[in-house]
């Protein structure tokens, strides 16, 4: 067999694999599409137990949709609640057709759902649903984020006072900060606890999601100043620069003394609950 024959066989196999993938992702039973069923008959044999070719392949098609729709419902409970069962299934099916699985890791299946929801009608006009998608995905990202060793504050005992402005604060990889138009973390908590959830009134909410030392998901709403500071640090700003930007942000105007006290309190609290994972001083 020469190289050209091998290339043709590889292309033929690739074409067949691609065709099977398309068939498995077909939105309707394969037996209902006579043209497709006819092609399946030419490629796949009947089962010894009496199943026709299209019926055999349709088993895998059904599993594709059952498994992945169920996965999205599990990972996006707040979106499912916000939209209701039928609209959520419609959104999920639309999403899966545009973003079929690209990896065996089903934790990554919904990675593009927040962006898809925010950019496609009619979902993009539903602020509650768009916020819910961002919130649910923040929890998923936090869940699968790498771990980090607990930070030991005693390591700071030798730090000079003049070294702090240029220090970089490393946050635990599971920490996610997001701003929502609704306090949807309360809705998600109620859903997870099996309680009835009521549609909340609009309320700008600055939220932090993280995974605690016991690998349990956590969330807390924090005030604008703390949120601005945390966001600046997460973006890599040095502590002094982060404080200046946070203090000067709209609604956060505060003097240097008050800011110093607030930063100290935040640092102690964030270290205690595991948000801080490292402090690096400039050489």
Sheet holding 205-211, edge to edge: 176-180, 205-211, 217-221
CATH code of the domain occupying 153-280:
3.90.930
Q: Which residues of the chain have pLDDT under 70?
A: 1-11, 32, 37, 250-256
For the chain, the average pLDDT equals 88
Q: What is the reported pLDDT for 154?
A: 84
Q: What is the reported pLDDT for 215?
A: 93
> Model confidence over 215-228: pLDDT tens digits?
999 999 999 999 99
> Model confidence over 152-195: pLDDT tens digits?
888 888 888 888 899 999 999 999 999 999 999 999 999 999 99
Residue 22 neighbours by CB distance under 10 Å:
11
Q: What is the reported pLDDT for 9?
A: 60
Q: Where are the domains of the chain?
A: 17-71, 76-144, 153-280
Give the H or E element holding residue 143: helix 127-144
Q: What is the reported pLDDT for 59?
A: 84
Report the predicted TM-score, pTM, of the whole model to 2 decimal places.
Answer: 0.85
Q: How far apart are CA 207 and CA 252, in angstroms?
A: 17
For residues 133 and 79, the answer to whether their CB atoms sit within 8 Å is: yes
């Amino acid at each position: 067999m020469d190289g050209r024959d091998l290339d043709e066989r590889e292309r033929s196999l690739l074409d067949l694999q691609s065709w099977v993938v398309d068939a498995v992702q077909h939105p309707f039973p394969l037996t209902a599409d006579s043209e497709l069923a006819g092609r399946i008959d030419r490629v796949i044999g009947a089962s010894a137990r009496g199943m026709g070719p299209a019926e055999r392949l349709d088993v895998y098609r059904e599993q594709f949709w059952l498994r992945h729709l169920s996965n999205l419902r599990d990972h996006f409970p707040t979106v499912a609640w916000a939209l209701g069962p039928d609209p959520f299934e419609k959104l999920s099916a639309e999403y899966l057709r545009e973003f079929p699985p690209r990896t065996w890791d089903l934790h990554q299946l919904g990675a593009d759902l927040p962006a898809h929801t925010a950019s496609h009608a009619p979902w993009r006009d539903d602020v509650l649903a768009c916020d819910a998608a961002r919130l649910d995905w923040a929890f998923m990202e936090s869940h699968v984020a790498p771990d980090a060793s607990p930070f030991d504050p005693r390591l700071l005992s030798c730090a000079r006072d003049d070294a702090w402005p240029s220090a970089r604060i490393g946050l635990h990889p599971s920490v996610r900060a997001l701003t929502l138009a609704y306090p949807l973390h309360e809705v998600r908590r109620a859903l997870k606890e099996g309680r009835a959830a009521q549609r909340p009134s609009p309320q700008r909410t600055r939220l932090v999601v993280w995974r605690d030392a016991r690998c349990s998901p956590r969330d807390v709403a924090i005030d604008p100043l703390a949120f601005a500071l945390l966001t600046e640090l997460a973006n890599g700003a040095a502590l002094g620069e982060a404080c200046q930007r946070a203090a000067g942000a709209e609604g956060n105007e505060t003097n240097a003394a008050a800011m110093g006290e607030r930063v100290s309190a935040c640092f102690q609290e964030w270290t205690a609950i595991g948000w801080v994972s490292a402090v690096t001083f400039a050489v």
